[in-house]
Each structure stands twice: as structure tokens, then as C-alpha cells.
Amino acid sequence: MKFLKFYAALALLGAIACFILVRKVSPRDLNFRLGWYPTTSRRLSANGDGSPGNDIRVKEWLRNKTSEAIHSPHRKEPNPGVSATSKKNNERGIVAVKSTPLKISNPLPQANGKPVGRPVALKQTPQNAETVVTLPKTLNVGGGPRNNINPHDYRLLLDEPRACLDKAGTPKKVFLLVFVTSIHAHIEQRQAIRETWGSPREVRGKGIVTLFLFGYNGNANLQRQLEEESRKHHDVLQEDFQDAYRNLTLKTIMGMKWASTHCPQASYVMKTDDDMYISYDNLIKLLTNAATPSTNYAVGYLITGGTPFRDPANKWYMPREMYPKSSYPTFLSGTGYVVSGDVARKVYERSLQTKYLHLEDVYVAVCMEALNITPRGDANFHNWHLQYSFRNYCRLISSHWAPPQEMRRIWSEQQRRGPC
């Protein structure tokens, strides 16, 4: 009987405690403390004040953070040969190569025992030794010597020096030069692009050159496959920086540099990714419109009011030491944007004097802001996936998250049905 009274008293005390807890703690707070509170954009806000983040990256991250169906050049592929970051490169925000030297076979025909037309060189590093980046003291940019704080001194492993030349070796007319960032493992995406939207060499009488951009992977098998692609398709550019998400800016600057040195006659330069669907026809319509400037021009999906994420766990984390400002300049989504040829050269030159940031679209915007170039938005650039219908794609220039099978389906139907 005593035991029953004891348990009854204990139950009463428990009920009183629960009542007090419920009165003082809201269901919202109780769920959060117990780990039941669902993740929302409110908690992911870049503002730190609990308000919804005003950067479109919040919504994208929430929608796609668990999706394995998304093919993106931002996803890091296995890279057993790379395992460390040098202190100097870490200060620059660049992931350095640390690996056993990789022997690159020469993908070009030989003439008198020497490779024809393509410099193939690897920044050799002994095992367990870090890549050393040498910073030239000065560099002549824009007419005078300036300190070079961010040199792009990487070497081409795979190159296409004749991509913008005709058979006689003279510069050919290139209206649009397109750079597609990719990683070694995305073989199917690249092949689908070559067979679909990236296949035209001329649209509406305007010459187009399409090239894929790569860093150094460290995987010998994947490298051999990439060399085979280069031999077969002649559309691969590769430099000897590590192919990693934090080095995506290096790919973009690599493209701007190549455009400036190998294809300066290009009227416009586009940067996009291998998970995008691009309509060259609609893009050429835009660029040949009488209202479209031929210089100081940048267009794409415009993002305004973007704010840095300060949470180190976030994919788009930006340390205050790297970018102390509370907001980003207006920028064009890196999924796909176009600049005039002079802007490509100016951005490359400006990058040599601009502190490195790993968010490539933000970095390009910082360079353009310093150059007083104002980016423009166009409603036909999309940085999300637009469900296909013939009508939807009549004016579309870019759509995100397009797997290979969808690229082929869209291309096939558009070719069959003809112009809108």
C-alpha cells in the first residue's frame, strides 16, 4: 500500500512538472529543443537576425541539399591523389595540389619527335611536397606596373590553340565563345552537350566555339579518359590547379585568360556549367539585337542584395577575413552568363589585382564593380530548372539541372518541330 501511495505521489509531481513546462515553453521551442524543429530558410538566413535570407542560394540549397539526381560541376569527385592545402594557398582561398606526379601522355601527333600545336606541361611536385605558387613582384596591366596579388600562373595541361583559327592558321570569325565548366567524371553530360545544344558551329550566320574547362584531378584513369576526349573532340582545356569546388573561380579566370590570349576576336564570351541547357538560337537573337551593346556588356540571371553566409558549415560560407562587407555587389548567377569580349579581358586583368574569393560569380562581380561595369538581367536566363514544354522553351536561353537524357529529348523535339 505504501508503494502505491509513493508511485501515485511521484506521478502527481510529474504531471505538475509537465504542466509548468508546457506553460513556459511554446510547442515551437519545445520541438526545437527536442530536435524535431524542421529546417527552414529562416534558420538558414544569412542575415543572422532570424529573418528569411535574401540570397537565392538559400532556396536552392534547401531544395537540393539532399538530391542525388542533380548533376553539377560543383560536386566534388573522388580525388585520392590530393590531400592537403598549403598555407600560402589557403590564405588565398585556393586548394593546392599535393600528390604524386602524374604523367600526362601527349594527345597530339608528333612532328620530328615534338608535339604539334599543344603545350602539355604538368607542374611537377615530388611526393608529399606542396605546390609552390610564385608571385611575380609586378605585372603590367592597363599600361603601368602594379602589384600582382592574385597571379593566375597555372600551366595548360591540355589546350586547343587552334580552336579560334581557320585551316590556314589565321583568326576566324568567332561571334560567341562558350566555356562549360566540368569535372572529369561527368563524361555523359559532356557527350550529351556535344550531341545537342553545344553541337552547332554556326547559328544565324554567327560563328560559335564551345570548350570545356577542367582543373587537375590526380586520378590517372580519369586523366587518361579526359585525354582521349581531347584527342577525339578537340574541345578540352585543362590547367594544373586542383579541380575542387573552392577552385571554381580559377576555372572562370582560366577561361577569361584563354579568351584574351587565344581568341581575342570573340565578340562575346559565355560561362556556363555542364548541367545546363542552353539555347544558342535564342542567345544569338539577344546578342544580335540592335539594342545589345558590343562593349562593357554583361548579362544573365541577376541576383541583387545577396549577403554572405557566415556559418562555416554552409556550402557558401564566406569568412569575414576574405570578404568583410555585409552584402555582395549585384552579380550574375554562375549557372550561365555572357560578357562582351572586352569585358572578358578586363575581368581577367582585374582579377590579377583582386583578392581571391571562392564564389566565382561573386568574384567576377567584384571585378566588374571595380571596372564600373553594371551587369544586366534578362528574364530568359534561368538559374533553376524550367520544366520543358515547347512553348516554355521558345524564348528560353538557359535552364538549370538538365540531365543528359533530358538534353537529348529537348533537342530532338526542337529540331523536329522547328522554330517557334
User: Residue 148's pLDDT is what?
Assistant: 83
Please give the Cα distance from 189 to 143 (Å, whole number): 42
Mean pLDDT of 8-18: 62
Q: What is the arithmetic mean of pLDDT over 368-379?
A: 98
Nearest to 99 by CA among 82, 76, 122, 77: 82
Residue 188 has pLDDT above 60, yes or no: yes
pLDDT above 80 for 60: no
- Provide the pLDDT for residue 313: 93
* Mean pLDDT along residues 330-357: 98
- Output the pLDDT for position 93: 57
The string of pLDDT tens digits covering residues 287-330 is: 999 999 999 999 999 999 999 999 999 989 999 999 999 999 99
How long, in residues, is the chain?
420
Q: Is 273 helix (H, G, I), strand (E, B) or coil?
A: strand
Indicate the pTM of the whole model.
Answer: 0.70
Q: How confident is the model at residue 180 (pLDDT cuts 50, 70, 90)?
A: very high
Alpha-carbon distance 272 to 285, whole Å? 18
Q: State residue 338's pLDDT score.
A: 99
Q: Give the pLDDT confidence score for residue 11 in this predicted structure.
A: 67
Average pLDDT value for residue range 34-50: 31
Each residue's pLDDT tens digit, 116-152? 333 333 333 222 222 222 333 333 333 344 568 999 9
- How far apart are alpha carbons 10 and 16 in whole angstroms? 10
More confident of the two residues 264 and 97: 264
Give the pLDDT mean for 341-360.
98
Query: Comparing 266 with 64, which gets the higher pLDDT?
Result: 266
User: Average per-residue pLDDT in the chain?
Assistant: 77
Per-residue DSSP letters for 356-392?
--S-HHHHHHHHHHHTTPPPEE-TTB-SSPPPP-TTT
The pLDDT score that the predictor gives to residue 108 is 36
Query: Which 8-state DSSP code applies to residue 253?
Result: H
Region 166-177: what's the mean pLDDT? 97
pLDDT tens, residue by residue, 211-243: 999 999 999 999 999 999 999 999 999 999 999
Given a cut of 50, whether residue 26 has pLDDT beyond it is: no
